[in-house]
Amino acid sequence: MNKPKIKLNRLEKWKGSLDVCIRCGYCFAHCPIYKDTRWETDAPRGKMTLIYGLINGEVEPTDYVAEKLLECFYCKRCENNCSSSLPITQIFTDAQADLLEAGFDVKGTTSVTNRGQCTLCLECVRLCKHEARSYDGRIVVDTVKCQSCGSCIDSCPRMAISMNLGFGTNPDEMRSEITGFLKDDKRKNAKAIVFCCNWSNYPGFQVAELVSEDPDPEYKILVTMCSGRVQSQVIMEAFAQGAWGVLVTMCPEDKCEHDGNVRTKMRINSLKKAIHELGIGPERVQLEIVEKGNQKQFQDGVKKFMKEIKDAGPLKRG
């Protein structure tokens, strides 16, 4: 066994436990990052293997390894499905802290601030439930504390915040998915966008994925790490691209790990008023509360929404 090349003070304590991972792979099918890239090193099992190698000196600590270990949305789907009940995200947090302490300057999926756009209003500092943002003459993000929920994105009046790596969940990535779906000439049935919270709607989302096997589906599901991440501008983009309606699904009010849903509710209510002023019926933007994993609630909510917007018909262009 080789000696690790850097100090791994926090990871040391997991030395024995990592043997418990039998590499079954129950975790990786649930990981939104793996789903996006299909690379083993982006899956929780791959990351556990990297950590095992780091501890045993078989994997050299490099920027690439550090970047991989800082890619995690902390959705805990892997943990909930781990056949060995390993506290996977705690292990990742310790790996991140050790690697950052060893001098690796990587950001993975953490939130970043565009300093040119930031006016230092400190709204994001007040909002972050995980105390990952602070002010030190400029906005500083604690890379280990940041849970990559993205709730701060919508809090910024200057649109200065994004995720360093979004894996399809950054506002510009969502916009391009929306345009790609609604403006695809091959699709004749495309009508709506459904934002699906990673926490509450899974595995309801899995069921809905079966619907997406339809070559010409009526709606597209976009997964976000928290409903709090869906900006009004992104919702309005859907209308600009011809959507008949937009549905946002979120957790029950006291069940959001990031308190993102409280703001989602306020945002959707003010958006309903704003679109009404523009002559767009408020029923075109809907909010559905879905308890964690409640497939029926998710499906019923989507069905009801689709019926209502189909009854309303396409948006009239003025």
Residues that bind ligand SF4 (CB under 6 A): 30-33, 44, 72-78, 88-89, 111, 113, 118-124, 128, 130, 132-133, 139, 141, 146-152, 155-156, 158, 160-161, 258
CA distance 145 to 84: 25
Instruction: Give the residue among 57, 70, 133 at the shortest CA–CA distance from 97.
Output: 70
When the beta carbons of 47 and 220 are compared against ligand SF4, the nearer one is 47
Report yes or no: 38 and 78 within 8 Å, Cβ to Cβ: no
Side-chain half-sphere of 278: how many Cα atoms within 13 Å? 16
Q: Both tokens of residue 254?
A: 């006291």
User: How far apart are CB 87 and ligand SF4 at their closest, in Å?
Assistant: 11
When the beta carbons of 59 and 312 are compared against ligand SF4, the nearer one is 59
User: How far apart are CB 17 and ligand SF4 at their closest, in Å?
Assistant: 16
User: How far apart are CB 30 and ligand SF4 at their closest, in Å?
Assistant: 5
User: How far apart are CB 306 and ligand SF4 at their closest, in Å?
Assistant: 29
When the beta carbons of 80 and 299 are compared against ligand SF4, the nearer one is 80
How many Å from the N-terminal Cα to the C-terminal Cα in the chain?
A: 71
User: How far apart are CB 211 and ligand SF4 at their closest, in Å?
Assistant: 23
Instruction: Give the residue among 138, 132, 142 at the shortest CA–CA distance from 120.
Output: 138
CA distance 102 to 94: 12
User: How far apart are CB 229 and ligand SF4 at their closest, in Å?
Assistant: 8
Q: Both tokens of residue 94?
A: 């310790």
CA distance 229 to 77: 19
Is the dihedral angle over the CA atoms 261, 262, 265, 271 positive or is it negative?
Answer: negative
CA distance 258 to 54: 31
User: How far apart are CB 139 and ligand SF4 at their closest, in Å?
Assistant: 5
When the beta carbons of 53 and 242 are compared against ligand SF4, the nearer one is 53
When the beta carbons of 76 and 272 are compared against ligand SF4, the nearer one is 76
Instruction: Give the residue among 169, 283, 278 at the shortest CA–CA distance from 234.
Output: 169
When the beta carbons of 68 and 191 are compared against ligand SF4, the nearer one is 68
